[in-house]
Amino acid sequence: MSGASAASRNGGEKDHRTYYEVHRDCEPGKKGVERAPVVEEYGEFDRARLAALGYALDGPTSTGERFTGTVTVHRVVALGQRKLQTELVDCIDERLAFRLLNELVLPHASQLMVSMGKLQEETNQLARLGY
């Protein structure tokens, strides 16, 4: 039985997926030969962005792998192993990552907590409205 017929029976989405690639650009190799970026795959956009920010904070490196410090995030739509569409989502470098993380004020976890009483009150209100 072919994969196409199995996919059509399952709503056509058997092997259809969206994932994210983080590309770390490499400096040219010996004699200026272009090198392909190092690519990592992530199932979730948030994870890909966090990885990209971390790599961008590393900036250009000169030890081991030689990276430029530019990191891109791409959304990939694939069917099986075949990429159907690739879209650039983010392009981050050390300056952007540093500025974002130093200007962003994150709340403490305790500031995000909701009491059980408040949750029960909201649940009761939704019940009264028929939800």
Interior CA angle at 106 toward 102 and 107, to 5°?
155
pTM: 0.69
Q: What is the mean pLDDT of residues 106-110?
A: 80
Question: Could you tell me which residue, 90 or 118, shows the higher pLDDT?
Answer: 90
Contacts of residue 18, defined as CB under 8 A and 6 or more positions apart, other chains included, come to 75, 76, 77, 78
Note whether 66 and 24 are within 8 A (CB).
Answer: no
Q: What is the pLDDT of residue 3?
A: 41
- On average, the pLDDT of the chain sits at 84
pLDDT digits (tens, 9 = 90+) for 59-80: 777 566 788 889 999 999 999 8
16: left (phi over 0), alpha (psi -120 to 50) or beta: beta
Position 104 scores a pLDDT of 82
CA-based nearest residue to 23, from 82, 85, 87, 77: 87
Residue 93 structure tokens: 């470098």
Band (6; pLDDT cuts 50, 70, 90): very low
Q: What is the pLDDT of residue 62?
A: 57
pLDDT at 1 over 50: no
pLDDT of res. 129: 86
